Structure 1
């Protein structure tokens, strides 16, 4: 015993020694992976900050450039307004000197441009109180000056030259033009100051953006170099790990094949065991059934003899034909005993019948489990309508209708699919409510290589807590007032799983149920249970 223990210890130590390099390699790989994650995270953060800062600075530079351009537009508009004023004044002087109508047209043209020019100037400087205040002073004076010039032209047309000379001597027009010129100069000076500030801000933003971009480019180069280094190191580590994995996988396929063979053998053994157990149970069950029948025959003789013993004179001679003997007249205690005896025999017979049905179901499931599936093209609507026609009598008795909507065709095992939907339609008919007409609908649709079928009824429904219970073998939910062994849904779900699909239920009490069966549209013939 000691020597055996030391050998086991040596083997254990050897196993640890073999696994030590793998553990070290795994630890190194984990550290390398963590370093790469940290580096990538840092690079992502830096790049994000650089990108966000660059975008902010570029937008700020664009805004500053736009503001500088706005200042130039304001200055241009100020100059344009003053130019139109000088044009109007020059045209008025030319008309007074020459009386030529072209000068009067030039004056009216210039005078008509002045109000729109001032309106544009007001719109451009709406956010500048300084300019708005200057415009409030400038616009009335410009309007007044235009009126004075137009009045002089009207006097000239009326040949009232003396009055024109008198107006010219008063020098009021020159004062108005001087004030307009001074106000415009103040506005231009303000715009020059703002323009200088905005230009300087734009230049600073562009310089900072260029610096940030340069720094970011340098960091990107650094991170790229580190990434290349880490990737190459990871590649070398991956090559080493792949080599170790190939070494470890040399015996993996044979091990998996051996385990799969063991599983298949165990599955076959379970099926054989179920068959043997079910078959061997039938023999004692038949004996019990036979002896129960004999007990039932003996019951009449036993209680007839009891009745005869109760009569005066003892036992009468036995009847030549026991079958012709009448039921004995018993006292009340003996009559109760006879009823109890009969009831006990009834319980025994019903239990024997139930056990016989369970054994038959187990044998049927065992045979189905061994049956090979074969894929075939199935016209689902024709198949469902054939099933509905076989239960038409039950549907008529239950005052129910079975509606089969257009269904997609599939490729699968015909017998298995027929068993699945026969069970679902039979269950839907079985559990309808008697207080309303039954309605059963079968519909289907395709999705991502699968076909989804739904069997919906308006029956009594299933409590949500029993949704999984109903798929267990020999388990039933709700009141046990319908015939059944609790096998149908379990068998149907097994068939669906073997066909590579799924089966589920959605239901509430008193609102009906919807069983959803999802099957591959084109089943390749791979039995999922056999495969596993």
Structure 2
């Protein structure tokens, strides 16, 4: 029974989807463009912030250079003052002050060298400053020695000879060097401060643009989501209505199938019964053709009865609740095979049953799955050799897979789409059956959350596979032999 879509739903499908897809495309393009802009601005802001941070470090570096140079000049003045004090008074306290100042001077000079190491011109100035300072310290040391050995008068004469009143242009060589270094650092400082101001202004402007874009994207996203939610609510309401109609139709169809199947049993039993009575009571009066025709009537009525039974079973599978538990698939497969061989003892197939992973499901339904697959393997055999049937299983990708393989007549994979359909048969009436067995297998496996599929070649046999949720997920473990994968 095919349920046609309602006109309103058809109209919605015809007119609603293109507009929805166009809206989605426009939203995707808009968001992609906004994302590109936001990403570009974010990277720019990041780079600006990085440069601003680097500029602030350079500004701090310039300030430190100026501070160290002022410290060098100050400690040199302190050392000179201490030496003059010693020359005048001879007090050893001034020598201790001199030594302390010289230690600070050396530390400042070394720090200045480290700070200016990346600037060639400043490094050359530092070397000149280093030479001048070494000369000045050597003179101070000599002056102290003269004061200690020859007296204050001789020390003052030496000092006047070393530092006569010079013209202004020739004084303060050390101060001139430090002044040049200070001027260059001040120029660099001014440039770096301008760069920092520009970077800060750009960062603020970029932040404002980003905030506006985020607000715009949020607004557009909110409007799109709101529209989408409204559409979803409408579609859900239509889907709920359609689902209820479909469920009602399925209930009616199942009830109809059950009623028809049940009501057909009585006339079929009557046909078969009266045909049998006719054969037993009047068979001697009939010729061979009459008896053959009665046999055809009985065979056809019995086949119809089997079809009805299979249809009822297929219908019940959709309503019967699952009683799931742990299932020993190895034991179940062996038991099913023994029952089938007892019912059909003809032939002597080779049966190879490997250790199977444990299953989780309705034991009665899984029994029927194995019964249908093994029954087909026993049915569709080749006449030119003894049949062989293999049952294998392994775990893979969160599921357990089971395989029933035979070397029978097989089938053409070109007809695979009919394989699991109801009343679909790929072989002639030479082989008994109703065409419902594999449809029952598929329904049972699907209800368990698994899948069923097959592989085959004509005259080379068939392999039927079905999967179930992996046993370990449901609280029990597989036997060691079932963990190795497909054999």
Normalised to the residue count of structure 2, the TM-score between the two structures is: 0.57
Distance 1:225 1:440 in 2: 56
| Partner residue of 1:68 out of 59, 62, 70 | 59
Structure 1 pair 268/113, CA: closer, same or farther in 2 (3 Å)? same
**Shift of the alpha carbon at 1:371?**
2.7
- Cα RMSD for the two superposed structures: 6.5
- C-alpha contact 2:336 2:371 (8 A) present in aligned 1: no
| Partner residue of 1:368 out of 313, 319, 330 | 313
Q: Give the SS at the match of 2:400.
A: strand
Q: Give the SS at the match of 1:153.
A: helix
| Partner residue of 2:443 out of 494, 511, 527 | 494
- C-alpha contact 1:501 1:519 (8 A) present in aligned 2: no
Paired residues in the alignment total 404
Residue equivalent to 1:196: 190
- C-alpha contact 1:441 1:456 (8 A) present in aligned 2: yes
1:518 aligns with 2:464: no
String of CA shifts for 1:196-243, please: whole Å, max 9, x gaps: 12222222333444455567777888x599969x959x88x999x999
**Shift of the alpha carbon at 1:426?**
9.4
Equivalent residues in 2 for 1:374-393, closer than 5 Å: 374-375=320-321, 377-381=323-327, 383-384=328-329, 386-387=331-332, 390=335
- C-alpha contact 2:314 2:440 (8 A) present in aligned 1: no
Q: Give the SS at the match of 1:371.
A: helix
Structure 1 pair 63/371, CA: closer, same or farther in 2 (3 Å)? same
Distance 2:128 2:41 in 1: 49
- C-alpha contact 1:81 1:118 (8 A) present in aligned 2: yes
Distance 2:392 2:306 in 1: 27
**Shift of the alpha carbon at 1:186?**
0.3
- C-alpha contact 2:329 2:356 (8 A) present in aligned 1: no
Equivalent residues in 2 for 1:165-244, closer than 5 Å: 165=156, 167-171=158-162, 178-211=172-205
Equivalent residues in 2 for 1:269-418, closer than 5 Å: 365-372=310-317, 374-375=320-321, 377-381=323-327, 383-384=328-329, 386-387=331-332, 390=335, 401-402=354-355, 404=357, 413-418=362-367
Distance 2:54 2:352 in 1: 79
1:125 aligns with 2:116: yes
**Shift of the alpha carbon at 1:475?**
7.8
Q: Give the SS at the match of 1:402.
A: coil
**Shift of the alpha carbon at 1:419?**
3.0
1:148 aligns with 2:132: no
- C-alpha contact 1:122 1:135 (8 A) present in aligned 2: yes
Residue equivalent to 2:103: 112
Structure 1 pair 420/105, CA: closer, same or farther in 2 (3 Å)? farther
Structure 1 pair 272/475, CA: closer, same or farther in 2 (3 Å)? same
Normalised to the residue count of structure 1, the TM-score between the two structures is: 0.53
Q: Give the SS at the match of 2:68.
A: helix
Structure 1 pair 155/121, CA: closer, same or farther in 2 (3 Å)? same
- The runs of 5 or more residues in structure 1 that have no matched partner are 1-14, 291-297, 299-354, 431-437, 447-451, 477-482, 523-532
Structure 1 pair 259/174, CA: closer, same or farther in 2 (3 Å)? farther
Residue equivalent to 2:76: 85
